[in-house]
Structure 1
């Protein structure tokens, strides 16, 4: 509840920073973990400075999240833990260190939570992914929280360093979340546990990127269209999207309702993310800006996606049911896709 101390691992990441600001805005104190304190300097010097100045926000250095006891000090005195730190890339080459980091990073923080946090700890929430949900079930099919990925880990064991990068990422998220639930089943901790499994996360970062290189991976597609990319064909294997601010709200709901959310997974997915839709939205929003209209590709307006942003031609008979999580949001509605795209693009104005 407001006034309590929440621990957020990976607080300097795209999602972590937005989540931290969300909790701070709602009256919480936040302790974040980072690999190096210097990596949080931008957060502490600018968007979160007012909270730093009054002692509501601070960071601790955890260089290696897989080391025994790595989080022993960080967890002390907190009432909730949001474990967001995890390897993220679609270009991984070797599954072994990535899966190791996902598994042992989860084990380490749970062990620290159980041994060192204190009796005031109410809940631990892990940021998993839709990657841990989507299976090889043939279409047509609608994925729910009951589903689990059933192929990526086997692929990594069989193909080893020949495994495609996306499959390594999927395997790591699946393995990390499985360990999370195994811990609850085997150790029966006194604190509650839940997971949030988002799809492609978009929405405005807390800190506007200063270079194109600094633009986060999940919002690269919006930046590229806004910056003038001529190729606006879909490239993501996950067409669904959700706003990062909705993810933050789901995490806060779980923190504030630990008994209700205990043992539950929540899929966060609100709409379809399609480059042509992005182009159409941005051209409409910047229609009075001649330079923007010259820069943003026209493509084939209206093609490839539905006008309610709920389906795309490339969906392939697969759907995602996120109704369980939507019911937890204030007003029971996700942030509109159009608003997410515009708000994200606003953060790139200084780059184009």
Structure 2
């Protein structure tokens, strides 16, 4: 018997596709939304084919998530909602449509949820570390108590001159604030939980067919694996922290399965700190045949052997201990495994 039906918005996204597979594997039915049905074909004809054929997975079109009522049909009879659809890029040039999509998409699905029926028990919102990063001077360790209080004012002051990464930060901060304001204003019968992961790496559910299909958050690993040069600094923007997409999926499932425990909670999901040098070292060790291609740099320099920076002076860090408790065994996937499995997903392109 199914554990219930989970609505996942943006099914064809990197995190959403992995989450769908995880939920299906663990006994849930999944209803996924996409802008166009054709965009789900690679999943329905590939790794999720058996679930689609059995009826455990269904797909519905929601062409524009910002239109009021857009999710009214999609939410019918679902027992949980994982709102994972949101624009993700660090190259945005115009803040208005990006913030509108993130903000309105969140409020629209929440308003539809009010019409879903009493069987709806929980909504999980995929926020981000950028909604937490408050710009506190280093050394500083971020927790769920922190809020981004600078990105939206920056957008208001600079408009289209705002850097793309700041636009993204503002969109996530605005949308999560709206998510919690909705809970305060409406006091819905269903529970609400947010997951705030750092830079998400790990293998995509569908291996990319070309380098251009490699997702933005794993593209840095591709650059190093394919022989690109690198600076000896954090591999990812901001605090350099990473978490595996499979752990994010498992944390979403935990929140769905334990609505009472996770109601009203934020979870900062953070497993390790990556640098370009640590990534090169991991890849050169795991793929000896690629050592002639992968830049050597200065092995072992600039990072800790356990991939943490929590006690390093003049660094900003993130505390993922609260979200770690949602995982089986209370442990994140080892960072080396995340990097290696990510590289395996595009090794065929070299």
Specify if TM > 0.5: yes
Q: Which residue of 2 aligns with 1:101?
A: 101
Q: So what's the TM-score if we normalise by structure 2? A: 0.97
**Are the equivalent residues in 1 in contact too, given 2:309–2:315 (CA < 8 A)?**
no
Q: How much does 1:139 deviate?
A: 2.1
- What are the equivalent positions in structure 2 for 1:176-191 lying under 5 Å apart? 176-191=175-190
- What are the equivalent positions in structure 2 for 1:133-148 lying under 5 Å apart? 133-148=132-147
- 1:50-73 per-position Cα deviation (integer Å, ceiling 9, x unaligned): 101100111111110000110001
Alignment root-mean-square deviation, CA: 1.5
- What are the equivalent positions in structure 2 for 1:155-304 lying under 5 Å apart? 155-234=154-233, 236-238=236-238, 239-287=240-288, 289=289, 292-304=290-302
- CA distance in 2 between counterparts of 1:143 and 1:2 reads 38
**Are the equivalent residues in 2 in contact too, given 1:268–1:322 (CA < 8 A)?**
yes
Q: So what's the TM-score if we normalise by structure 1? A: 0.96
Q: How much does 1:39 deviate?
A: 0.5
- CA distance in 2 between counterparts of 1:314 and 1:105 reads 39
- 1:173-201 per-position Cα deviation (integer Å, ceiling 9, x unaligned): 00000000000000011100000000000
Q: 1:315 to 1:75 in 2, by over 3 A?
A: farther
Residue of structure 1 aligned with 2:334, choices 333, 336, 340: 336
The SS at the match of 2:332 is coil
**Are the equivalent residues in 2 in contact too, given 1:2–1:26 (CA < 8 A)?**
no
**Are the equivalent residues in 2 in contact too, given 1:304–1:313 (CA < 8 A)?**
no
Q: 1:314 to 1:157 in 2, by over 3 A?
A: farther
Q: How much does 1:316 deviate?
A: 3.6
- What are the equivalent positions in structure 2 for 1:56-135 lying under 5 Å apart? 56-115=56-115, 117-135=116-134
Q: 1:314 to 1:276 in 2, by over 3 A?
A: farther
**The 10-residue stretch of structure 1 (174-183 or 222-231) with the greater mean CA deviation from structure 2:** 222-231
Q: Which residue of 2 aligns with 1:4?
A: 4
Q: Which residue of 2 aligns with 1:326?
A: 324
- 1:80-123 per-position Cα deviation (integer Å, ceiling 9, x unaligned): 000000011111111111111111100100000002x1110000
The SS at the match of 2:297 is coil
Q: How much does 1:328 deviate?
A: 1.4
- CA distance in 1 between counterparts of 2:310 and 2:188 reads 43
Q: Which residue of 2 aligns with 1:308?
A: 306
Structure 2 residue runs of 5 or longer lacking an equivalent are none
- CA distance in 2 between counterparts of 1:197 and 1:312 reads 18
- CA distance in 1 between counterparts of 2:285 and 2:327 reads 28
The SS at the match of 1:294 is coil
Q: How much does 1:3 deviate?
A: 2.9
- CA distance in 2 between counterparts of 1:182 and 1:85 reads 19
The SS at the match of 2:306 is coil
Q: Which residue of 1 aligns with 2:345?
A: 347
Q: 1:139 to 1:233 in 2, by over 3 A?
A: closer
Q: Which residue of 1 aligns with 2:148?
A: 149
Structure 1 residue runs of 5 or longer lacking an equivalent are none
**Are the equivalent residues in 1 in contact too, given 2:310–2:317 (CA < 8 A)?**
no
- 1:263-288 per-position Cα deviation (integer Å, ceiling 9, x unaligned): 0000000001211111111111112x
Name the count of aligned residue pairs: 348
**Are the equivalent residues in 1 in contact too, given 2:197–2:243 (CA < 8 A)?**
yes
Q: How much does 1:315 deviate?
A: 8.0
Q: How much does 1:322 deviate?
A: 1.2
Q: How much does 1:233 deviate?
A: 3.7
